[in-house]
Amino acid sequence: MKTELASIISSALDQILDDSSTIDIHIERPKTLEHGDYSTNIALQLTKILKKNPREIAQLIIEKVGLDPSIDRLEIAGPGFINFYLSSAGKSSIIKSIFSQSTKYGHNLTGKNQKLQVEFVSANPTGPLHIGHGRGAAIGDSLARIMQANGWDVTREFYYNDAGQQINNLALSVQSRIKGIEPDDANFPEDGYRGEYILEIADAYSNLKTVEVDEEVVKANGNPDDIENIKRFSVAFLRNEQNIDLAAFQTTFDVFTLESAFYQNKDVEKVLDLLEKNGFSYKKDDATWLKTTEFGDDKDRVMIKSDGSYTYFVPDVAYHLNKWERGFVRVINEQGADHHSTITRVRAGLQGLNLGIPKDWPDYVLHQMVTVTKNNQEVKISKRAGSYVTLRDLIDEVGSDATRYFLLARKPDSQLIFDIDLAKSQTNDNPVYYIQYAHARICAVLNQANVKPEDLKNFDEALLTSTHEHQLIKRLSEFPEIISLSASESSPHYIATFLKDLAADFHSYYNANKFLSDDKALQNARLALIGATKIVIKNGLQLLGISAPEKM
């Protein structure tokens, strides 16, 4: 509708100006229905060009618009705004668009089917997924869905840091438990992992279990001194467990990539050679440094430490070179806020390769920490993990739907309090329950009316005259913009908020009206409106990875 109205204004300007092609027409939504369905400030923009009072210009534009079946009337407001009031036909076109586009309503082709990768979660395989990983999973998976709805060809990817000291500490921890050394024993590794899950891995290893993960099969040989077999088995065990938790969280991936692969195939060496060749690395204090200051960093950074080991961002540069070589026009990395320092270093490393990679590539979405509360008290640990709240704890406690919604309800860069008691409640105070209940209520009404979707496509729009109906139609028309905004801002919370507002509009409408009546024309019009609402609620929940139950 915004595009259509902009076109109408553009045609009017063609009759007023010699050349209107350079005029940027902004169509906005007034905050209240009293100010119309849409508004434009175009008259204020033209005051210098036409050298007239903006209200005078607005009147001139209105005269040139003439009659249009989508518009009931145009009014001048304030210093010269033009407010559009849609006609019944204009409003009904929104409902009809929802029915005709169905699951695709709100989608667009902005991405032009270009290749986009979303990397998210990417947890070290050293323990169960914690609530921070859960927030990353919810945001990353929802972003992937949103970017697909905006026309991108999306690949979901998980990157495993399966190399380095943390993995060595994992293997040593499991080995200690195999040998009967308890976490509080002085001989237990100082930097070891002490959660109960370490004992589970040790027991599985001692019992010669086999783990299959992502088409890789790893068998324990039971030898307590074979640290390499213990390491491989422990990583596979935890990777498999993480996959199980993510599946329960309605989160899947297209590609799993291992950090160790970039050492095995010499990609890390390739990156170091290129940086040296291009003059962006140097040696100092027995270490090799990257000239990150040439790319905006406050100081140069070490790539190879004096003991010969790599700093964490070197394999990250190799990994992102691999992404570039796979043809991703755009990459979004969803990570915790503690990865902030990674951004400058990885981008600097990529620029130093001189391969034509854009300066702001890849994009980053960083999420803040989550505080979990129950009975008004902060919950800090899980019995199994020993030091943090696991994602599985929350899924088991409140379910996947509520967990996802609460983790998506605020912008990623905002800290978040997860109230378990609220998430479990079946009241209107619980936003995900409130939204799902709206969908179930509509299903109940349509089932009682015994109508099929095709029965609702022909209705008398002139009968939808109440304020509740106009507000609901206005809200439904906003959904395409919300999908676009969520993509441009890389934040699913806009959809979460929109759905809560849409549910509120529907519940108000439901409580104020009867939908089944002897007046079949009125009944059909109202059922068409709530049928369209049902489609939009389901579409929005799907973008958040949340179910739309038909009964509650």
The per-residue pLDDT for range 497-547, each reduced to its tens digit, is 999 999 999 999 999 999 998 999 999 999 999 999 999 999 999 999 999
* Sign (positive or negative) of CA dihedral 530, 534, 535, 537: positive
Q: State mean pLDDT over 356-366.
A: 96
Confidence band of 373 (pLDDT split at 50, 70, 90): very high
CA distance 79 to 45: 12
Q: State mean pLDDT over 187-213.
A: 96
pLDDT reported for residue 345: 93
Q: State mean pLDDT over 358-372.
A: 96
pLDDT reported for residue 387: 84
> In this structure, what token pair is assigned to residue 407?
């983790």
Helix or strand run (H / E) with residue 372: strand 370-374
Rg value, the chain, Cα: 29
pLDDT reported for residue 89: 83
CA distance 409 to 240: 29
pLDDT reported for residue 163: 80
Domain ranges of the chain: 2-86, 165-250, 428-543
The per-residue pLDDT for range 96-110, each reduced to its tens digit, is 999 999 999 999 999
Residue 504 CB contacts under 8 Å (≥ 6 apart), including other chains: 434
Residue 481 has pLDDT above 90, yes or no: yes
Residue 442 has pLDDT above 90, yes or no: yes
Complete DSSP assignment for 471-539:
HHHHHHHHHHHHHHHHHHTT-THHHHHHHHHHHHHHHHHHHH--SS-S-HHHHHHHHHHHHHHHHHHHH
Confidence band of 415 (pLDDT split at 50, 70, 90): very high
Confidence band of 268 (pLDDT split at 50, 70, 90): very high
* Sign (positive or negative) of CA dihedral 96, 97, 101, 104: negative
Q: What average pLDDT does the structure give for the chain?
A: 94
Residue 70 has pLDDT above 90, yes or no: no
The percentage of residues in the chain with a pLDDT greater than 70, rounded to a whole number, is 100
The percentage of residues in the chain with a pLDDT greater than 90, rounded to a whole number, is 82
pLDDT reported for residue 88: 84
Confidence band of 382 (pLDDT split at 50, 70, 90): confident
Residue 307 CB contacts under 8 Å (≥ 6 apart), including other chains: none
Residue 383 has pLDDT above 80, yes or no: no
Confidence band of 340 (pLDDT split at 50, 70, 90): confident
CATH 3.30.1360.70 holds for 2-86: yes
Q: State mean pLDDT over 403-411.
A: 98
The residue type of 451 is V
Confidence band of 246 (pLDDT split at 50, 70, 90): very high
> In the CATH scheme, what architecture does the domain 428-543 have?
Orthogonal Bundle (1.10)
Does residue 303 sit in helix, strand or coil? strand
pLDDT reported for residue 312: 86
Confidence band of 175 (pLDDT split at 50, 70, 90): very high
Residue 90 has pLDDT above 90, yes or no: no
b/e per residue 519-543 (b: at least 16 CB within 10 A)? eeebbbbbbbbbbbbbbbbbbbbbb
Q: Is 160 left (phi over 0), alpha (psi -120 to 50) or beta?
A: beta
